[in-house]
Amino acid sequence: MKNFNIPDFYKSPVISKVKEIRKGRDPRKKDFSPTILNFGPIRFHIARHFGFCYGVENAIEISYKAIEENPEKRVFLLSQMIHNPDVNNDLLNRGVKFLMDTNGAQIIPFSELTSNDIVIIPAFGTTLKIEEELSKIGIDVRKYDTTCPFVERVWKKSEKLGEDQYSIIIHGKFNHEETRATYSRSEQNAPSIIVKDIAESRVLGEYILGNIGLDDFNKVFKGKHSENFDPTKHLERVGVINQTTMLAAETQEIADYFKNVMVKKYGDSDFKNHFADTRDTLCYATNENQEATYGLLKNDADLAIVVGGYNSSNTSHIVELCEEKLPTYFISSAKEIISKNEINHFDFSHHKHLHSLDFLPNKEVIDIILTSGASCPDSIVDEVLQKIVSYFPGAKNIDEVIGGLK
């Protein structure tokens, strides 16, 4: 796999070493068990896979290249390059400006742009309409396009589904940048509809089976399908694609569900004419990070700390997995840890910030699961680990702990 040129300050003296050691031991990525960093009074269970993925490193490399190559020009990001505040803030501090927010609302009107300006397309991609608007201004949208190759693979799959006369079901968050970008392409290829989870999928499945009517369909899916989508005609042949940062297991569950719906409606002998197998649209990195989280949760621990941007979809799914088993604290950086007894964290389910006391249990040895989302730099995870270790004066030093892994 390609090695990307990303700034050194995104790397770390601890986490990066741990990853290198595990990579040497397990080059084929078959072992999803965590790495245990034993500092004595505190033990960290470090996920086998987490942090920057291929698509994120590709986006970072291209973005910094755009700044370096255009010192005399205005450089804009279409919206947040990735969902991590530290990465985006560093780009802003270097003079880059956002044209839109993550919901697609305009911050700087396109009318203020000129053909001499540089626009970076984020890792999520963007819609065909926005590409067309920028191209009309004379901006080369391909020169600094950081769209993740795995997102582009989903777009190609939607094109193939359309060619084969399938309607497209997108598993994604309706207003997420990536889903908007994917939807803009899929609706060009075929009738398209968005489902956010298995619950909405079941509503759609019940409609396909004739168990609910059009009114019930419209209550859930109004505004979430292509303009000329006709549910009485366009749900006879379907294929499922996904926002790549969704929970991989749920995407597979949704695909399996619609397969079974078609088996019920058309029978074992004919369902293949009504359902397309599209499992290859799952992102390997998202899947690996989630499998590594399952591996983490096989070990007993006192709590979990998940580090990442609060608007990061893939990070939120890791939080959800951890919350099912143990107390979980979703933080953006080490700054959220106020002291050994206090922590600020984010309740993703209710979208609110919380302040908790005594988050570290009072016991002889504390076991902490530590992981992050795909858009979080290792250096930020490193700072979290080191800050917690600093609260334990009798802890082993980092070199000793890392040396014990070799």
178 in catalytic set: yes
Q: CB within 8 A of 250, min separation 6: which ones?
A: 171, 197, 198
To 5 degrees, how large is the angle CA 146–CA 68–CA 75?
60
**Which residues neighbour 160 within 8 Å (Cβ) at sequence distance 6 or greater?**
none
DSSP 208-263: HTTSS-HHHHHHHHTTSB-TT--TTTTTSSEEEEE-TTS-HHHHHHHHHHHHHHHH
Strands across the sheet with 238-242, in order?
192-195, 167-171, 238-242, 275-276
Q: How does strand 75-77 pair with strand 97-98?
A: parallel
CA distance 199 to 374: 26
**Listed residue (229, 233, 232, 281) closest to 255, CA to CA:** 281
CA distance 119 to 142: 9
Distance CA 170, CA 194 (A): 5
In terms of C-beta density within 10 A (0-12 exposed, 13-18 middle, 19 or more buried), how is residue 266 classed? middle
User: Exactly one of 57, 131, 177, 178 is catalytic; which is it?
Assistant: 178
CA–CA gap between residue 28 and residue 22 (Å, rounded): 10
Question: What does each C-alpha distance from 283 to 180, 247, 280, 318 come to in angstroms?
Answer: 17, 10, 8, 15
Annotated catalytic sites, by residue? 178
